[in-house]
Amino acid sequence: MTLRRPATAASLLLLAASAHAELLWQADFETGDLSQWPYVTNPAGASVTSACAYDGQYAGQIAITGDDKYLWHGNEALNRSEFNYQPAATGEGDTTHIGWSFYLPQPLLAVKHEIGYWESGNSWQQKMRYNLFGETLSFTRSDADEPYWSKPGFASAGVWHDVAMTVHWSTDPAQGYVDIWLDGKPMGRTQLQTRANNTDPMFTQIGLLRHRVAQREVILLDNVRVADTIEDVLDAFDPTQPKTCP
């Protein structure tokens, strides 16, 4: 008869770790720079800060004013600075699982801010986005007059919040869908056309995009991750332990 030795704490930790798929991509800013991002749209407003991070030592910071250098090609409707990421597979039938955490040192103005959206490469058609008016976060189809849903009070200042989503890519509104979690709580499924056309890849931009306003506004971003499953994305944020900064 073969006797089995009881599992040690170390072996249990290894088993637990092996049960989770590795992240496909992440931007945790722990390099101390912006090198984890393939592209930054209008980098004048983008930097790394050690003043406040979700995890580790660093977070990304987007800070813009109404100065000309924060206008995209001089367009007053594009007062912006954003991080850009394009998943490897956004073709028909592909699925993306992504999440990111954000922190507002001060509440944003009660005007529209696009803090995250999906757009097509080459044809530049934005399909869906998160809008932030003050503390109210909403999710909308980009060409719609009304959002699918709004969450008043979600984007409170002084605490880290998390947005996680699964996107199933399709040009058919009956096949494409988005599942969203806010601070780990499900917002349900939204059925919609998620691809702009049959050829162009889709990319996301996260940061601040608004019409020109003189006031300086800041958003911190951290814990940006893409995984094989939404469970691995959700595991990277702990909603039971709200994190604040001094």
Question: pLDDT by residue (tens digit) across 182-225?
Answer: 999 999 999 999 999 999 999 999 999 999 999 999 999 999 99
Residues of the chain short of pLDDT 50, as ranges, are: 1-20
216 three-state secondary structure: coil
Q: What is the reported pLDDT for 246?
A: 81
Tokens of 172: 């058919």
DSSP string, 111-124: S-EEEEEEEETTT-
Enter the pTM of the model. Answer: 0.91
Q: Report the b/e string of 20-46 with b at 16+ CB within 10 A.
A: eeebbebbbbbeeebebbeebbbeebb
CB-CB contact of 158 with 244 (8 Å):
yes
Residue 174 CA to chain centroid, in angstroms? 25
C-alpha dist (Å) from residue 93 to 142, 161, 195, 204, 226:
21, 30, 10, 18, 17
- Per-residue DSSP letter, 69: G
What angle is formed at CA 157 by the lines to CA 154 and CA 160, rounded to 5 degrees? 75
Q: What is the reported pLDDT for 227?
A: 98
